[in-house]
Amino acid sequence: MPADLDPLLFGEIDPPQRLLMGPGPINAHPRVLRAMSADLLGQFDPEMTGFMNQVMALYRPIFGTQNRWTMLIDGTARAAIEAALVSLAAPGETVLVVNFGRFGLLLTEILGRVGAKVETVEAPWGEVVPMDAIAAAIERVKPKVVATIHGDTSTTMAQPLEGFGALCREAGALSYVDATATLSGMEIAADRWGVDIVTGGLQKCLGGPSGSAPITISDRAAEHIARRRHVEEGIRRDDIADGQGPRIGSNYFDLAMIMDYWSEKRLNHHTEATSMLYAARECARIALGEGLEARFDRHARAGRAMTAGLRAMGLTVFGDDAHRMTNVTGVYIPDGVDGEAVRTMMREQFEIEIGTAFGPLAGKIWRLGAMGYNAMKHKVLLTLGALEVCLRMEGHPVPLGDAVPAAMEAWGD
């Protein structure tokens, strides 16, 4: 075994203090980290179930909903995505995916594994799908479920969703929205949009660590899922009956059983991730304490400032300005510049991380985030100043000193 892999030589975890200004994860708020250090409790301790009920109440306004079934899925944001899709769609059923980036493709990947028949309505990366195109696709394929991303960090675009839920309901379809990248940074209006399930994650605008995934489920979707309830043999109870529909194809991600776990029944399903629940609870308290409108405005200012600073350097911002996410900005890597060399220099010389890209955009754009605890004016200015220097060091003729004043002006008072 190499000496540097000898477990006896491993020291205490002491990571560098990096400023994470990519598309996520971002630096967690100190209050969230402190909350995670609190003592553990048993999953059925009345104090613990009280905290679970508090989490449900805290996340309803963040999702813009009155849904009873607003809770957490233990796992990263993808855990909630998979739980939603495997619990909504049965094998052989048609699901329409609104696809405009990597994470729309992820929905098709998960649904393919579920055994659903997947249809798509698409836009090129850097654009969004018009609502009339979604309506035409729904009419054409008559899906049981329609699934979309709200903000796709791979393309930095945010899909408009006013009227989306109504469109699906009129066609008799259930609707799903992945709001991992935008929850608490851009408005999520589950009830006004009329959507059935929305999921999120902590590691973006909520300013927490990855590992817990908030979810909200409409009564309509909950009834659909309950018809697929099949309680595992070892925890059966006389007061919980199986549904008549096809069994959900995952035990861990079975929303019917997870809802029973979060309900007054407290049906044992898994051991709740206590420290992550503490984190999710504190993320929500911070967001609501700031005020959601003020929080949305802060993210919008950060996005405007980042975009203005990049353009002041003479760089070309990627994608459609009309549908840009507020919290992640894509920018083309200038011709002749080694994008990875710049990212390495940003990290090694300034302790700042910015993001690379996926798929057709790999090696073509950087993605710069300003969200949650990092959607602050000084952090945007530090990032822009460092990028300016690194580009000059790589031989690209950036006008020194223009980016920061442009960003400050765009931020406003």
Mean pLDDT by 10 residues, the chain (413 residues): 69 92 97 98 93 98 98 98 98 98 97 97 97 98 98 97 97 98 98 98 98 98 96 85 92 95 88 96 98 98 98 97 96 97 98 96 97 98 98 93 97 89
The pLDDT assigned to 413 comes to 77
| Residue 250 · residue 238 · CB < 8 Å | no
Domain boundaries, the chain: 30-287, 291-411
**The predicted structure's pLDDT at residue 382:** 98
**Amino acid 230: pLDDT:** 92
**Superfamily per CATH, domain 291-411:** Aspartate Aminotransferase, domain 1 (3.90.1150.10)
With a CB cutoff of 8 Å and minimum separation 6, the contacts of 188 are 62, 63, 64, 150, 179, 182, 198, 200
The answer for 412, left when phi > 0, alpha when psi is -120 to 50, beta otherwise, is left
Cα–Cα distance measured from residue 162 to residue 271, given in angstroms and rounded to the nearest whole number: 37
Which pLDDT value is given to residue 238? 83
d(CA 320, CA 155): 10
Instruction: Give the C-alpha separation, 302 to 215, whole Å.
Output: 26
pLDDT at 239: 84
Contact of 186 with 324, CB cutoff 8 Å: no
Please tell me the distance from the alpha carbon of residue 178 to that of residue 161, in angstroms, as a whole number: 12
Provide CATH code, domain 30-287.
3.40.640.10
| Residue 328 one-letter amino acid | V
Q: What residues have CB less than 8 Å from 20, skipping those under 6 apart?
A: 26, 27, 353, 369, 374
Residue 362 burial class via C-beta count within 10 angstroms: exposed 0-12, middle 13-18, buried 19 and up: exposed
Q: What is the reported pLDDT for 236?
A: 87
How many CB atoms are located within 10 Å of the residue 236 CB? 12
**How wide is the angle at C-alpha 38 spanned by C-alphas 32 and 41, nearest 5°?**
125
DSSP 101: S
Q: What pLDDT shows up at residue 327?
A: 97
Query: What pLDDT score does 237 carry?
Result: 86
Q: Give residue 1's pLDDT.
A: 57
Note whether 30-287 and 291-411 share their fold.
Answer: no
Q: How many helices (H) and strands (E) does the chain have?
A: 14, 13
pLDDT of amino acid 4: 65
CA 63 to CA 184: how far, in whole Å?
8
